[in-house]
Structures are given as C-alpha cells and as structure tokens.
Structure 1
Amino acid sequence: MELKRRNRVSAEFSMASMTDIIFLLLIFFMITSSAISQSAIEVKLPEASASDASAQDPAAVTISKDGKFFIKDKEIAPEDLENVLVNTFKDDKNPSFTIRADGDAKHKDVVFIMNIAEKHKYNIAIATVEETQ
C-alpha cells in the first residue's frame, strides 16, 4: 500500500519581502550619502582677534596669524599655555574650550593646542565660518 504525502514543502518563496528590504536599504544609503556630502563643505577659518574671543566665549584660546596665543585678551607664551589652561579648568567637572584660529595661522599651532587638550582630556571645539560663494 502506497501512502501519499499530503504536506509538501514548497521550494518557492515570495520575493515581495525581499524587494521591500532592498527598497529600504536603497533609501537608507541615499540618505546617508547625502549627509556625507553635506559634511564635506569647505570652511574658511575666521580672522579672530583676542577681543573677539573674550567677548563671545570666556573659555577660548585665540591664535593670531603671527603665531601668538591669547586667552581673555591676554597674550600667553606657548610654553606657559598648558599651565594656564590647567589652572583655568582645575575646578571644572567637564572642561571645554574653543580654539579660534586666524585663517592664516599655522596648522602646527592649532595641533599644539589640540595635543594639550588631548593630554588633559579637555573637550574642544574649533571655530569656523561657512564659506560664502
């Protein structure tokens, strides 16, 4: 006596859910790619002076184009800058400051301040202005 199987497994599956997933992935990659291109906007660093830094943000280090460092309108020698920052933030729980560099300032001066911030775990922000066309 031959028994027939009533439950057969179908080798086919619906592609409708697969197309939905592909469509969602396509939307996701389109959105993220446009966000990446927006963050690649060229910026021009502002020409900052010591008076601009103290008026807008009391916790700001300003670098002039001739390589001088300023905190609150006071010129600070590069070798004393780390000690001044440590003394300024000794009581802060979350120390942070802004780097305001002139557009013609040397990159090594900005990196010098960033190294101090990294050494002492300070949060930093770099002031920039969007380039107008």
Structure 2
Amino acid sequence: MNLSRRRKLSSHVETSSMNDIMFFLMLFFLIVSTMVNPNVIKLMLPNARSGKQAMKQPITISVDAAGTYFLDRTPITPTELEPELARRIAGLESPTAVLRVDASLNVQKLVDILEIGNRLKIKMVMATQAQQGK
C-alpha cells in the first residue's frame, strides 16, 4: 500500500512591502504634480547673434533725515515728485523704483511715496541696511 502523501507545491508572493512602495510612489507623484507648471508652453526660441540683454535701471527715490527728497540724486520737492516720476517712466514696460528713506523719519513720508508709486503702477523696492553684529 502506498500511503505516502503527495506534497502540493504552492507558490506564494509576499506583498506586504508593496504597500510601502506604492505609498511612497503616490507621495512622490503628488509632490511632483504640484511643482509642475501647467501654463508653460514649450517653444523653440529664435537665435540671436548678439547675446546682449537690456539692463533695466531702476529709479532711485531718496529722502534724507532733513526731509529733502531726491530723484536719482537730484533734489526735488514733494509736490514735483509725482509729475517727474510720470515723465521718467513714460514708455517703460515695467518701471521699478528703489526707495531709500532715512530711518529717523516718520512712516508717513514713506507711505506718501508708496501711494504715488501705486497710482503710477511702479514696482517699489525698499532699500534696507543689514544689522551689525547679528
């Protein structure tokens, strides 16, 4: 009598680590998809013989401790500031102004200049000085 048992071969694949891999892949694709800008249009741009770039010179508006206004180192009265700025930015695509206001002045002079820049649609950048000793 043949009483030997037949051994059944079974193939089994461990998939417990697949859950971790799928989770990390899902996180990766979610993060990457938020970084991609969908508004980008791929273009082949034409070549130019000269590699020069047009440098934009910002307009400098300064107010010293005495309250004197300067437009690119030229003294100017506060009432003349807006028309002179409008004249200088005429024809510029994206005008930029650097504000240099003395720290001892009150904030109102700075706000007045910012309002003028807002009316004329000028990008305003405030110049600051790094703190010493930090």
TM-score (norm. length: structure 1): 0.56
1:123 is matched with: 123
1:60 is matched with: 60
State the shift of 1:58 in Å.
Answer: 5.8
Larger Rg: 2
2:93 is matched with: 93
State the shift of 1:105 in Å.
Answer: 2.1
- Report if aligned partners of 1:65, 1:106 keep a CA contact under 8 Å in 2: no
1:76 is matched with: 76
- Report if aligned partners of 2:58, 2:95 keep a CA contact under 8 Å in 1: no
- Report if aligned partners of 2:60, 2:71 keep a CA contact under 8 Å in 1: yes
For 1:105 and 1:59, the matched residues in 2 are separated by 21
- Report if aligned partners of 1:67, 1:106 keep a CA contact under 8 Å in 2: no
CA deviation vs aligned residue, 1:71-117 (integer Å, no higher than 9, x gap): 12211111110000000100101011100011212211111100001
In structure 2, runs of 5+ residues without a counterpart are 1-18, 28-56
Q: 1:117 to 1:73 in 2, by over 3 A?
A: same
For 1:131 and 1:99, the matched residues in 2 are separated by 18
Please state whether the residue corresponding to 1:130 is helix, strand or coil: coil
| More helix as a share of residues | 1
CA deviation vs aligned residue, 1:30-67 (integer Å, no higher than 9, x gap): xxxxxxxxxxxxxxxxxxxxxxxxxxx66100001111
Aligned length: 90
For 1:131 and 1:74, the matched residues in 2 are separated by 28
Aligned residue identity for 2:94: N
Aligned residue identity for 1:62: S
TM-score (norm. length: structure 2): 0.55
Indicate the percent of aligned positions where both proteins have the same amino acid.
21
In structure 1, runs of 5+ residues without a counterpart are 1-13, 22-56
